[in-house]
Amino acid sequence: MELLSPAGLFPNGVGYNRFGRGRTPLVILQGLVWSHRPLRGWEALAARHEWGWLLRQRTVYLLVPRSGLSEGTTLSDMARDYAQALSGALPLPVDVIGTSTGGSVAQHLAADHPQVVRRLVLHGTGHTLSPRGKAAQLRCAALAARGCWRDASAALLEPMLPATPLGRLSLAIQAWRMSWGAPADAQDVTVTVQAEDAHAFADRLHEIAAPTLVIDGEEDGFYTPAILRETAAGIPNARLILYPHRNHGAPGPQLQHDILAFLQG
């Protein structure tokens, strides 16, 4: 099967970026993003750098939901879109990494469309958001709807950074950078946040048949250690890795090593 182009849209409107030319495909479902379109320019370069540790062995397909989501769209609807997009485009099943909001969608993808997912990494995500995480995302969506993209960025970043002078400085800088190129219409952001606010998957975790790795930092502001442990315990063939003193996603060499080891089986 020929490789898809470096960036584009599937027939149903799901966007993708392709990085690397490894023999084995790997699908990544992103966290909350402002614009539902393939990455371009410096955004694509940053993403390629972020996931570069996978590219020696894998061809990475970074997916983004279709744009123009209607009110009431659910995470299950987004998972169905992903399943439709991947069917016929890649040899299935494929390994999937779902990070943050993308990990919430990945739970639905693995349960509703088991033919799609070979191995599943739930990275910085769980069966439901913590109260703090829900509050942060709802505030983010409300600010985005008013066009206050820098404040929306800050609201989303706040649970990820320490309340120290250095943390506040980092928050201001990252919020400023995140707000670059924000769309005029916040519909996709607000619909996605509303869908994740309703995400309560504890009673369906047992439907995930794929071998699964739940991996995060113990100090994630969006998912408490209890939520992460419950997520791993509810999936029949799951392993849990929690890093002490690490926040949302726990990026770093150890996380990369542990994910690669899991994907290699």
CA-to-CA distance for 93 and 103, rounded, in angstroms? 17
Instruction: Examine the domain organization and report whether 123 and 72 are in the same domain.
Output: yes
Q: Average model confidence (pLDDT) for the chain? A: 93
Inside any domain, residue 148: yes
Q: Which residues pair with 7 in a beta bridge?
A: 17
Q: Which residues pair with 28 in a beta bridge?
A: 62, 97
Q: What is the domain range of residue 118?
A: 7-131+199-263
Confidence category of residue 2, pLDDT binned at 50, 70, 90: low
Task: Give the position of tokens 């016929």.
Answer: 88
Confidence category of residue 203, pLDDT binned at 50, 70, 90: very high
pLDDT digits (tens, 9 = 90+) for 147-201: 999 999 999 988 887 667 776 777 778 877 777 778 889 999 999 999 999 999 9
Residue that terminates a domain, selected from 187, 221, 252: 187
Say which residues have a Cβ less than 8 Å from residue 124's Cβ, sequence separation at least 6.
31, 99, 100, 103, 215, 216, 217, 220, 222, 223, 248, 249, 250
| pLDDT of amino acid 1 | 47
Write out the E strands in 30-93.
58-64
Instruction: Examine the domain organization and report whether 228 and 116 are in the same domain.
Output: yes
Inside any domain, residue 124: yes
pLDDT digits (tens, 9 = 90+) for 50-98: 999 999 889 999 999 999 999 999 999 999 999 999 998 999 999 999 9
Question: Does residue 130 have a pLDDT over 90?
Answer: yes
Residue that terminates a domain, selected from 140, 157, 187: 187
CA-to-CA distance for 33 and 205, rounded, in angstroms? 25
- Position 60: which residue type? V
Instruction: Examine the domain organization and report whether 47 and 160 are in the same domain.
Output: no
Residue 97: closest CA among 212, 8, 206, 209? 212
Inside any domain, residue 194: no
Q: Model's pTM, two decimal places?
A: 0.95
Instruction: Examine the domain organization and report whether 164 and 35 are in the same domain.
Output: no
CATH number at residue 257: 3.40.50.1820
| pLDDT of amino acid 165 | 72
| Secondary structure of residue 54 in the 3-state scheme | helix
Taking a C-beta distance cutoff of 8 angstroms, is the pair 4, 15 a contact?
no
Spell out a b/e string for 178-188, using b for 16 or more CB atoms within 10 Å of the CB, else e: bbeebbeebbb
CA 179 from centre of chain: 19
| Secondary structure of residue 98 in the 3-state scheme | strand
Residue 133: closest CA among 197, 47, 194? 197
| pLDDT of amino acid 3 | 72
Taking a C-beta distance cutoff of 8 angstroms, is the pair 100, 248 a contact?
yes
Q: How large is the average pLDDT for residues 250-262?
A: 94
Q: How large is the average pLDDT for residues 45-52?
A: 92
Helices 187-197, 131-145: axis angle to 10 degrees equals: 160
Inside any domain, residue 49: yes
| pLDDT of amino acid 143 | 95
pLDDT digits (tens, 9 = 90+) for 136-158: 999 999 999 999 999 999 999 88
Task: Give the position of tokens 């909350």.
Answer: 32
Helices 131-145, 149-157: axis angle to 10 degrees equals: 170
- The token duo for 83 is 């399943």
Instruction: Examine the domain organization and report whether 180 and 203 are in the same domain.
Output: no
